[in-house]
Structure 1
Amino acid sequence: MPKAKPVPDTTRGPGFTRRRLLLSAATLTGAAWLGSGAVSRALAEGSATDIPARSPLGLPTDLKNPREVLSSGGRFRLDLTMRQSEIELPYARAKLRLYEGEIPGPTFRVAPGDDMEITLHNDMPPNTDPSAVVLNTPNEFSTTNLHFHGFHVSPKGNSDNVYLQIHPGESFNYIVRLPEDHPAGNYWYHPHRHGSVALQVASGCGGMMIVGGALDEVPEVAAAIERVMVFQCPVVDPKAEDLDSYDTIWSLDAERFWLVNGEYRPRIYMRAGEVQHWRMLNAGDQQFLPMRLDGLELYEIGFDGNPYPEARQTDEIFLAPGNRMNLMVKALEPGSYTLRRPAFSQGKQPLDEVLMAEVIVLPANTARIAPDVKMGTELPKGPLPRNAILSDITDAEIVRTRQIVLGVSDVQGMFKDTVFTLNGAPFDPQRDDIVARLGEAEEWELVNTTPYPHPIHVHVNPMQVTKINGVPLADPQWQDTIAVPAAGTVTLRMRFTDFDGRFVMHCHILPHEDLGMMFNVAIQA
């Protein structure tokens, strides 16, 4: 086949200008929305909106929660700078593309109904490749944008619009309005500019977003110490200080050192009999995280930002790239336990066991933790709070069924002579692949024709997963990112509510997205 021809840049959003927006950082005051924990209660008195990274138990060797920025009086305001920062990793010194020079970026804590205004400044160095952009190949690694992963918000204008491109030296003002009935739970933000997203996320660019709500007021959840745990594996180019070679991240089994909140194999402390609430995020670029924590009791209470009907005991934590989990962890006997990813095969590729963290359970009456640090001991019992937009999608609501085929093709001249496809075609920003109507519901069957799994993420509207490999689920699950098994199928249902406009659906193995496994969904009012 002939080499691919350059495709002109057609994805710039309307009204975007190359000049820097002269917007000063606002000073936030007033009573902030507060999550659980003694730190949050103290904030209520001081009206603080920025919490430094710290151990929730006050121990110097304990895993720190990332720095947090909180909304105040229904408004979240932040200047967020993406820049190339020199970072001393446990395994290398590197220049990484990061938000605020932090791994991970600061946690955003907001509430339903909040108005979010974020000015993203791109202070990265200029793109060095002078050649024209070829669509569905890696390109322009210093051009970026911002995605609010899992949020049920508008995809248009300066909201969660992933078609925007923000070049080095430019800034863009995002305004995102959360609905009053937005589900409480864990979400995250990260770059989403097609062609550079995998390299930027592999560099460590991303952070957690927490939407507060009724789930946090469940007595057993409110009583528990809260941990924010962001799992990342910043990739370093062994031949250079900065990550500018896509070959470095391309191989699934390329050496990756997993960090938790930027720490390598950290210690996590608990007390015997204690229950903690762990908010977990797989913010890696392509590896799955099936994890075990033997010797402790684990109960899931939410997934992908969507609360469960009740707490569900489990013996495995499973996070595909982009997935989040709310997990209640109960410590039993004092001792040392390991959070580990066992050896497994991701499709055809075997991956080795990885030690993620060490969990140290101290005696319940330990003098190492101040007596005023709260200690929850009970697990949630009975039904958890329900959200109105997460009611079951019935057969009667379905107006249309579709089949979406996941594939890969050899195309000479493309990166590694490879393109990934949905319904036989790679991404084209000008093509509407699915056209649906606001207020309707559809059922989609995702058919994977490749020998490896694909975590498929749909923007804007949560999806209810009803079948895997044709087998109905006993408890249909609300998610925004679902792992479609190798050579398998997933059936999901989705309501298109509140927001019209164009958004995307794609694989969250991000090199697959950059190489074409993404298409457009257009919702018409």
Structure 2
Amino acid sequence: MVSHSYLSRRNFLKQSIGTATIGGGLVLCPWTTAGAATAKTTPAASPLGIADDLANPSEVHSVDGRLRTRLFMSIADVLLPSGPAKLRIFNESLPAPTLRLKAGDTLEIAFENRMPENPDTTAMVLNVPNRFNTTNVHYHGFHVSPRGNSDNVYLQIEPGHHFNYVVRIPEDHPAGNYWYHPHRHGSVSAQVASGAAGMAIIGGALDTVPEVAAAVERVMVLQAPIPGVDGVLATEDPIWPPLNGERNFLINGAYRPRIYMREGEVQHWRVLHAGDAQFLPLTAEGLELYEIGRDGNPLPRAEIVDTVDLAPGNRVNLLVKATKPGTYQLLRPAFNQGKQPLDEIMLADIVVIPANDSRVAAGKPFGRDIPAGDLPKNRILTDIADSEITMQRKFVLGMSEVKGFFKDTEFTINSQPFDPRRDDVTAKLGAVEEWTLVNTTPYPHPLHIHVNPFQLMDSNGVPDPRKPWLDTVAVPASGTVRFRTRFTDFAGRYVMHCHILPHEDTGMMINVNIEA
């Protein structure tokens, strides 16, 4: 086993939060209360105004270029399909409120860790789950600084402590779906598996496409919360079996809800897979599904699909067209994640009602069309040519049996488990690189890289003609993925890791250091 100096650093942070500047650019700021809530809020509500329709989560909107709000994590009582449960979640809400911003905005969050002291006080072992009440907040997919009090996943915010996040979003940030969730190594899986997550939407050019602007918008956060065996999760043991077994998926906290559409209507669904481990393909027979965006990044054109494949961490913008009245089903079709087949499950009923149904509130939009032309492009999403490449790298995803580790398992990248003290990739700001990921395990791994999106070139050697821009990609079992990325705008240290979060907590993560 590898013991780790994490413990002394943790104690130092615990004593220092609120006042200190730590080496390496880590800035901890005093938590303030003056003016800590400056934003427009909207309650959870059906986008059609129908009583038993799936409600969009509550939202917090930026005002005059700033979204300033409070966020806290606590242990809350929640009713799940399996019964009453205690979950670690944000703002006692499942899911957490949606943050709605624009490119160029500043996000200011006064964050508070309201959880009790950690019951485990023995020395921590790196890459063994620990300290489930220590946390932080990651802004998944944001192209922002990873330093200081921005999207800094090396922070450890202890129970009873506060922290101010200030995240400045570039003026040319792509428009789309992002999200926020905890990312403190050692406790990330337990907290996301509890349901600590919320959507973040950055508005922009995609929203001004006439066919998109005309559509009713649904925000849909898919989660499968796991409670502890007796009370709150105290170990990752309950999480690991559901990697290969059935789970109760919720949409916006609701189990098997109704989703209403009108005959002939096109709705814009912003879908987030905020689960911790299990892949989630989606189908809806009898309806037309068009993908227009992935991971916050617009696709070149609207593309009709039969199945939407989502790995943990993926987001998708869908235009969904209803045909004739009737009840249809949103399904997770049968599939195999590498160990055992999983049966089809029903996630929601989609009820298509007459176009003039009186239950729909007056004045609701009624989109009917799918965009036929090219979708808007973005400066940081232009194709990466062969001539731009400054470095090629290979990363091998693996696992090994290590006695004494959790489940006697350690996950690795290039034969090494995660070590926060080691820089695995060092590059200069402005570099353009091509990375090949090689999976040596018998199941897929969704790899997520922070700060800079990447352009997918091929999977298992088969080129993707769309060359989509992503931040999370599934590397097939015993397969390969090749992508290209530009290190633009932001120097600093961040991570790439598997978004099957029990794999991250047990070692499948590396550090990337971009130098100015």
Relative to structure 1, the CA distance from residue 222 to residue 314 in structure 2 (aligned partners, 3 Å threshold; closer, same or farther) is same
1:8-32 per-position Cα deviation (integer Å, ceiling 9, x unaligned): 3376698983469442162666xxx
In 1, distance between residues paired with 2:395 and 2:262?
A: 48
Larger mean Cα displacement after TM superposition, 368-377 or 178-187: 368-377
TM-score by length of 1: 0.94
1:199 counterpart SS class: helix
Aligned match of 1:486 = 477
Relative to structure 1, the CA distance from residue 268 to residue 194 in structure 2 (aligned partners, 3 Å threshold; closer, same or farther) is same
1:258-290 per-position Cα deviation (integer Å, ceiling 9, x unaligned): 000000000000000000000000000100011
1:466 counterpart SS class: strand
2:465 counterpart SS class: strand
Q: Does 1:379 align with 2:370?
A: yes
Q: Does 1:24 align with 2:33?
A: yes
In 2, distance between residues paired with 1:400 and 1:498?
A: 18
Aligned match of 2:282 = 291
Equivalent residue in structure 1 for 2:218, among 223, 227, 235:
227
Aligned match of 1:250 = 240
- Which one-letter code corresponds to 1:249 in the other structure? I
Alignment of 1:55-454 (within 5 A): 55-237=46-228, 239-251=229-241, 252-454=243-445
Q: Is the 8 A contact 1:275 1:379 kept in 2?
A: yes
- Which one-letter code corresponds to 2:235 in the other structure? S
In 1, distance between residues paired with 2:14 and 2:161?
A: 13
Aligned match of 1:498 = 489
Aligned match of 1:40 = none
1:182 counterpart SS class: coil
In 2, distance between residues paired with 1:286 and 1:90?
A: 19
Q: Does 1:5 align with 2:14?
A: no
Larger mean Cα displacement after TM superposition, 448-457 or 472-481: 472-481
2:190 counterpart SS class: helix
Q: Is the 8 A contact 2:299 2:466 kept in 1?
A: no
In 2, distance between residues paired with 1:219 and 1:11?
A: 52
In 2, distance between residues paired with 1:28 and 1:135?
A: 37
Relative to structure 1, the CA distance from residue 516 to residue 393 in structure 2 (aligned partners, 3 Å threshold; closer, same or farther) is same
- Which one-letter code corresponds to 2:286 in the other structure? G
In 1, distance between residues paired with 2:412 and 2:18?
A: 36
Aligned match of 1:37 = none
Cα deviation, residue 6, structure 1: 4.8
In 2, distance between residues paired with 1:485 and 1:7?
A: 35
Cα deviation, residue 475, structure 1: 1.6
- Which one-letter code corresponds to 2:171 in the other structure? E
In 2, distance between residues paired with 1:304 and 1:428?
A: 27
In 2, distance between residues paired with 1:8 and 1:277?
A: 45
1:159 counterpart SS class: coil
1:291 counterpart SS class: coil
In 2, distance between residues paired with 1:104 and 1:371?
A: 28
1:198-253 per-position Cα deviation (integer Å, ceiling 9, x unaligned): 0000000000000000111111111100000000001022x302121210001213
Q: Is the 8 A contact 1:4 1:414 kept in 2?
A: no
In 2, distance between residues paired with 1:255 and 1:186?
A: 27
In 2, distance between residues paired with 1:417 and 1:202?
A: 21
Aligned match of 2:24 = none
Cα deviation, residue 413, structure 1: 1.1
Larger mean Cα displacement after TM superposition, 52-61 or 350-359: 350-359
Cα deviation, residue 454, structure 1: 0.1
Q: Is the 8 A contact 1:227 1:276 kept in 2?
A: yes
Relative to structure 1, the CA distance from residue 524 to residue 22 in structure 2 (aligned partners, 3 Å threshold; closer, same or farther) is closer
Relative to structure 1, the CA distance from residue 27 to residue 160 in structure 2 (aligned partners, 3 Å threshold; closer, same or farther) is closer
In 2, distance between residues paired with 1:354 and 1:106?
A: 27
1:101-129 per-position Cα deviation (integer Å, ceiling 9, x unaligned): 00000000000111111111000011001
Relative to structure 1, the CA distance from residue 441 to residue 4 in structure 2 (aligned partners, 3 Å threshold; closer, same or farther) is closer
Q: Is the 8 A contact 1:4 1:412 kept in 2?
A: no
Q: C-alpha root-mean-square deviation of aligned residues, in Å?
A: 1.6
Unaligned stretches of 5+ residues in structure 1: 30-47
Cα deviation, residue 254, structure 1: 4.5
Aligned match of 1:34 = none
Aligned match of 1:33 = none
Relative to structure 1, the CA distance from residue 56 to residue 11 in structure 2 (aligned partners, 3 Å threshold; closer, same or farther) is farther
In 1, distance between residues paired with 2:352 and 2:164?
A: 45
Relative to structure 1, the CA distance from residue 10 to residue 516 in structure 2 (aligned partners, 3 Å threshold; closer, same or farther) is farther
Shift >3 Å, 4+ stretches: 3-16, 18-22
Relative to structure 1, the CA distance from residue 16 to residue 164 in structure 2 (aligned partners, 3 Å threshold; closer, same or farther) is farther
Identity, in percent, stands at 60
In 1, distance between residues paired with 2:124 and 2:341?
A: 34
Q: Is the 8 A contact 1:236 1:243 kept in 2?
A: yes
Q: Is the 8 A contact 1:220 1:380 kept in 2?
A: yes
2:7 counterpart SS class: coil
In 1, distance between residues paired with 2:295 and 2:34?
A: 31
Cα deviation, residue 368, structure 1: 1.6
In 2, distance between residues paired with 1:268 and 1:11?
A: 48
Cα deviation, residue 394, structure 1: 0.4
- Which one-letter code corresponds to 2:3 in the other structure? K
Cα deviation, residue 256, structure 1: 1.8
In 2, distance between residues paired with 1:429 and 1:75?
A: 33
TM-score by length of 2: 0.95
Q: Is the 8 A contact 2:50 2:361 kept in 1?
A: no
In 2, distance between residues paired with 1:195 and 1:511?
A: 9
Relative to structure 1, the CA distance from residue 519 to residue 27 in structure 2 (aligned partners, 3 Å threshold; closer, same or farther) is closer
In 2, distance between residues paired with 1:154 and 1:522?
A: 12
Cα deviation, residue 348, structure 1: 2.0
Q: How many residues are paired up? A: 504
Larger mean Cα displacement after TM superposition, 60-69 or 412-421: 412-421
Q: Is the 8 A contact 1:10 1:430 kept in 2?
A: no
Aligned match of 1:474 = 465
- Which one-letter code corresponds to 1:322 in the other structure? G
